[in-house]
Amino acid sequence: MEENGQNYKLIFEKEGVYLHTNAKRTNQDTSIPGFIRIVERAGIAALEWSPLQDEGRTAPAVLYTKKDGEAGEEETHFDPGYEPDWAVISTVAKDREPVPMQDAGQWAFSLPLSELYSLRRARFSLGRNFIVLTSRGSHPLPPLHFHRGGTRELLRAIHRYIVLDQSPVDGRLFLAYPRDSDALPQTLDKLQLFDDGGSDLVSRFIQDPYATTFGGFSKVTNFFRAAIRPPESSMHPRSAQDPGLPSQPDDEPGFELITCGMELGPRPEVTRGQPLDRWEDFLDPEGRVKNPEKVKELVFRGGVTPSLRKEVWKFLLGFFPWSSTTKEREDILRVKTDEYFRMKVQWKSVSEEQEMRNSLLRGYRSLIERDVNRTDRHNTFFSGNDNPGLTLLHDVLMTYCMYNFDLGYVQGMSDLLAPILFVTQNEVESFWCLTGFMDLVHQNFEESQEAMKQQLLQLRVLLKALDPELCDYLDSQDSGSLCFCFRWLLIWFKREFSFEDILTLWEVLWTCLPCENFHLLIACSILQSQRGELIGSDHDFNTILKHINELTMKLHLQNILCDSEAIYLQLIQCKELPVQVQQVLGLYDPSSSEENSSESQSGEARPLAGRSQAGAASSSSHGPTYP
């Protein structure tokens, strides 16, 4: 958009801002890409949005399909409280008729900032934050989603003209006042409206339908991939003069692309062992575990026989210390039981009248009750109505809200608890085992999403080192961000394998062998197992998502575990392994790197040499022993 004349001044501009149309008539919701601007015309500031087509460019609308039966008459005014239930990707046909882009221009708007009444942070079932603007005529404009970030810069620009003051009754609503009003000015840092990454996918998932996050996850991915992908261009690049702006995705340290010409050796053969089946052999007369590392190695190699899981899992998840005696464990159980029921009585004793004044607890309870009725109902332990297993699932999750007020309940936690409760069949023990599991993965569910973005970046680093061709192919299909792996990492493949396989996979991962990021190597193994299907095919981003989604329950766990370990051995035996890969695998030693900085480039990987050779030398039919 260009205008000539002295009366026009462009104050702010951001590309990649999607307008959410809620086009009910077509049974589709459409997000139209466009520009958001703040302009001054004759000294009057206005907030404007226009589609990309108005700039002489072309871009496809982002389509979402609603479930059958939700079509209705087109609404004259957009309802900012509408929460559609999104269908899974398998219901999206390849040849779906797109919304004509010539209709996109009707959505352009220009709102003088003096006419802005409020700005609302609205969450929809996509799991994302949207800005909903309302004029002083009480007409809400269609929500805007910042596909490439930029919300903080927009608010900073708006703040030059008006004051945004948080509503005392609604924490998501910010009222607009003229600069000369009596409203107390607030800085943007105090407002803390948005994380500028433009991403809020894991923001506790409160109010998001369960199917949105896990069943129809591919819909969320379309947005999340842009949150971690560096913008192609930026009108306002970060500079030393403006250190207050949040980091952009391309500022992530230590994850530059691997372009070196390293050569990996052959991938070794690895076989699995037998499950741990003799627990008493590892206990001394007082009940201490004599060789915890050997136990972990056996669990990593073959898992645990079902009859021993109830006991061994309590050690793997930190409920019992490995060095504890039988008597000490009895004392621990007594103390932990008392502690659990003290927390449980906190929410059990809340009256209905009290709960009416506690929206947070009320929200947690509602979400837990809904999720409990949808979690692993195919398993006999949770099937049927009035099942005591469902009551235990509910009570443990409610008590966890008392244990961790900061995190509370997040959708997905019921998926993590169900296998633990199935194995322990004990309310107290399952609770403390859940806390141990959450200690490993709680960052996956935090609102900032930094841990998830970091893991996806780390996964890309590994895949680039292992299979540059596959990585380049995914890049060419706009899939290089690997966001279709998000669900894998979020709940540790819970939806990708059978219930019984998950019990084995999780106990293997809880050993933290051969490295803490072994789950990323599992993801690499799955991706590489699909390279023949992907490379050379006519897949695009959506069909890649569909293909990955359809792998559920079709993966062979033992083969994946063998290949994942073989990948680890293949990498550590490389003497010129890039530093980024060493860091992901937990092999990088900064002090050693500094000492060898004056030596040849291959010296970077020298800390690996001894371990690689030792690993190769100790290989047996069941693989190496990991320290």
Q: What is the DSSP string of 89-153?
A: GGG--TTPPPPPGGGGGGG-EEEEGGGEEEEEEEE-TTS-EEEEEEETTS-BPPPEEETT--HHH
| φ, ψ of residue 144 in degrees (nearest 5) | -115, 130
pLDDT of residue 145: 84
**Each residue's pLDDT tens digit, 539-554:** 888 889 899 999 999 9
- pLDDT reported for residue 22: 63
Of 215 and 359, more confident: 359
**Residue 97 lies inside a defined structural domain of this protein:** no
Query: pTM of the prediction?
Result: 0.60
Q: Which amino acid is at 394?
A: H
Same domain (yes/no): 485, 412: no
Query: What pLDDT, on a 0 to 100 scale, did the predictor assign at position 337?
Result: 97
Domain that holds residue 332: 304-445
174 shares its domain with 44? yes
Co-location of 413 and 493 in the same domain: no
- Look at residue 372 and give its three-state secondary structure: helix
Number of domains in the chain: 3
Query: Does 232 have pLDDT greater than 50?
Result: no
The residue ranking higher by pLDDT, 187 or 425, is 425
Q: Is residue 290 part of a domain?
A: no
pLDDT band for position 287 (50/70/90)? very high
* pLDDT tens figures, 438-467: 999 999 988 888 899 999 999 999 999 999
C-beta separation of 566 from 622 below 8 A = no
Same domain assignment for residues 180 and 34: yes
**CB proximity list for 173: less than 8 A, separation 6 or greater:** 118, 119, 120, 121, 166, 167
Amino acid at 608: L
The confidence band for 6, taking pLDDT boundaries of 50, 70 and 90, is low
pLDDT tens digits for 380-432?
A: 999 988 889 999 999 999 999 999 998 999 888 999 999 999 999 999 999 99
Q: Is 233 helix (H, G, I), strand (E, B) or coil?
A: coil
- The residue from 445, 461, 477 where one domain ends is 445
pLDDT tens for 300-330 read 999 999 999 999 999 999 999 999 999 999 9
Listed residues 132, 166, 196: the one ending a domain? 196
CA distance linking residue 175 with residue 116, whole number of Å: 9
CA distance 531 to 78: 43
Torsional class of 32: left (φ above 0), alpha (ψ -120 to 50), beta (otherwise): beta
Residue 54 pLDDT level (bands cut at 50, 70, 90): low
pLDDT tens, position by position, 84-133: 222 222 223 333 344 343 455 678 889 899 888 888 876 543 445 578 88
- Is the same domain home to 362 and 500? no
**Of residues 358 and 149, more confidently modeled:** 358
pLDDT at 237: 37
Q: What is the CATH number of the domain that holds 520?
A: 1.10.472.80
* Distance in Å from the first CA to the final CA of the chain: 62
Residue 382 lies in a domain: yes
Looking at 411, 445, 479, the residue that finishes a domain is: 445
